[in-house]
Amino acid sequence: MTDQVRTRIAPSPTGPPHVGTAYMALFNLAFARRHEGRMILRIEDTDQLRSTPESEEAILQALSWLGVEWDEGPDCGGDYGPYRQSERTALYQAEVQRLIGQGHAYLCFCSAERLEQLRKEQMANKETPRYDGHCLSLTPEEVEERKNRGDPYVVRLKVPDEGECRFTDELRGEISIQWSQIDHQIIQKSDGFPTYHLANVVDDHLMKISHVIRGEEWISSTPKHILLYEYLGWNAPVFTHLPLLRNPDKSKLSKRKNPTSVTYYQDAGFLPEAMLNYLGMMGYTLPDQREIFSLNEFCETFEIRRVSLGGPIFDVDKLKWVNGRYLRENLTPEEVLQRLVEWKGGPSFLSQVIPLALPRLETFSDFFPLSQFLLNENPLYPFDELVGKQEPREVARLLKIAEWELEKVDSWDRNSLANVFQNLAETECKKLKELLTPFFVCITGSKVSLPLFDGIALLGADLTRSRIRKALQFLAENDAGISKKGLKSLEKEYRQSYGKRID
Ligand code: GLU
């Protein structure tokens, strides 16, 4: 163990870059900088089905845009790589073998049906669903025989039945959790890949992470991690669980209420330094109570114990206020102009709009009204225009289905988007033109505009999704929303006609 402070962020590349990840990254970076340590970026892509290279790329891009810098990672290397878990499978398998050999982990051959039955019984008895240790009673010969027969199996962690796990959290003090609440965690899946828990512990050890600073949703997993450190004969790092960001109504930050993707804020014209500043105010105040501060000022004075546990509210209006102050107080008008040009006010963006606008131009004065939907955060439109000739509830239904379909689009280009809407029209037995009207209105703010699919492609995934969600909200405010029950049956109908949802 070195004495150097080493922190890490370990995002899973399974979706757009989340503001919660940026928040964790900032606090890990500040802690590392303050203690002259290093921050590591590790990609936790053990979920083979949901992880994508596009998402990894977007996470790295979003953190770089914010100005969060890491010292080691998949892009820049380091002494403890590879920094992508999918490239470290052999390391995890070796530790799993060691755990099995020492009797701390065991093979489990139980079928999905048996596990489901067990879960149902436990739920009916109001017990915490937990594996009952059935396969622990297999003899070594039986295990060998079943393995040789090719029966599928997972590897589970042996967890004590009694007593409790105690550990210290830097912010919360001592935490104790009964072992009876902790499941015999699967540490290796039937395809030989590790689960998050095992890979996370092995990597934190091998990458010499001294301090784990992560979100409070991981507290209940920490006993499993502590057990793994103990079984593997390693020292556990210091744990700090930061409070989760919340919506203004105190619920957990979710994209239903607020955009949660960092790229949304980039596309909507926020300044990265203002965004980082605002994230630094989440559950934290500088010793001198300053509200506007640079990343360096934040890092230099950072004291992790000053983090307060009351759920910090991520309020877009407050973020806008901070952003406005940055524009007026921290940048000269020349710098504002330059940043505006870099955003969407210059040739690199506008040159993509010209070919779309040209067929509709008579004079230059036509250009900005036609393109303004690409430059504003949200267009405004009347209710009647949004619903057109359709039933308002039918419009809500279509918007919701489109929202789910758009989640599935990997490469956000004109053709993929055209396919989504054509497929939607076919499945719904509607004329494309009729189907598109509400989308035209909620995305461009008008019934006449630039070609829709090109427009959506240029607008980007985050702003598009947010406009569809805004339209759904608008419909709900006008008694044309989708009820909870309606949503359930719509999800069912969606599964049948369009396949599984990803979220
Ligand atoms: N991969 C986990 C995540 O996506 C990391 C949790 C941790 O920091 O241990 O949040």
pLDDT digits (tens, 9 = 90+) for 27-79: 999 999 999 999 999 999 999 888 999 999 999 999 999 999 999 999 999 99
Ligand 1 proximity of 218 Cβ (cutoff 6 Å): yes
- Residue from 255, 318, 320, 408 carrying the catalytic annotation: 255
Q: What is the mean pLDDT of residues 476-488?
A: 91
pLDDT one-digit tens code per residue, 239-260: 999 999 999 999 988 877 789 9
Whether pLDDT at 127 is above 70: yes
**CA–CA dist 310, 132 (Å, integer):** 37
Shortest-distance atom of ligand 1 to CA 196: 1
**Amino acid 401: pLDDT:** 96
Ligand 1 proximity of 8 Cβ (cutoff 6 Å): no
pLDDT one-digit tens code per residue, 2-35: 589 999 999 999 989 999 999 999 999 999 999 9
Mean pLDDT, rounded, of the chain: 94
Ligand 1 proximity of 44 Cβ (cutoff 6 Å): yes
**Amino acid 411: pLDDT:** 84
Shortest-distance atom of ligand 1 to CA 221: 9
Our CA angle for 377, 382, 387, nearest 5°, is: 105
Q: Residue 476 C-alpha to ligand 1 middle, in angstroms?
A: 35
Whether pLDDT at 290 is above 50: yes
CA distances from 363 to 366, 370, 373, 451, 490 (A): 6, 12, 19, 19, 46
Q: H helices of 125-177, where?
A: 140-149
Q: Residue 215 C-alpha to ligand 1 middle, in angstroms?
A: 8
**Amino acid 1: pLDDT:** 45
Q: What string of DSSP letters covers 429-484?
A: T--HHHHHHHHHHHHHSSSS-S-HHHHHHHH-HHHHHHHHHHHHHHHHHTT----H
Ligand 1 proximity of 200 Cβ (cutoff 6 Å): yes
pLDDT one-digit tens code per residue, 422-458: 999 999 999 999 899 999 999 999 888 899 999 999 9
Q: Which residue puts its alpha carbon closest to atom 6 of ligand 1? A: 10
Q: What is the mean pLDDT of residues 351-357?
A: 97
Ligand 1 proximity of 45 Cβ (cutoff 6 Å): no
261 φ, ψ to 5°?
-95, 130
CB 174 within 8 A of CB 166: yes
Beta-strand relationship, 105-108 and 38-41: unpaired
For residues 126 and 367, the model is more confident at 367
pLDDT one-digit tens code per residue, 202-236: 999 999 999 999 999 999 999 999 999 999 999 99
Shortest-distance atom of ligand 1 to CA 11: 4
**CA–CA dist 365, 378 (Å, integer):** 21
CB 298 within 8 A of CB 317: no
Nearest CA to 443 out of 468, 469, 472, 480 is that of 468
- Ligand 1 pocket test: pick from 6, 12, 229 the residue with the most ligand atoms within 8 Å of its Cβ: 12
Other beta carbons within 10 angstroms of residue 142's beta carbon come to 13
Instruction: Judge whether 492 counts as a catalytic residue.
Output: no
Q: Residue 141 C-alpha to ligand 1 middle, in angstroms?
A: 38
Start-to-end CA distance of the chain, whole Å, equals: 40
CB 213 within 8 A of CB 131: no
Shortest-distance atom of ligand 1 to CA 24: 8
Q: Which residue puts its alpha carbon closest to atom 10 of ligand 1? A: 11
Q: Residue 11 C-alpha to ligand 1 middle, in angstroms?
A: 6
Q: What is the mean pLDDT of residues 458-474?
A: 95
pLDDT one-digit tens code per residue, 161-208: 899 999 999 999 999 999 999 999 999 999 999 999 999 999 999 999
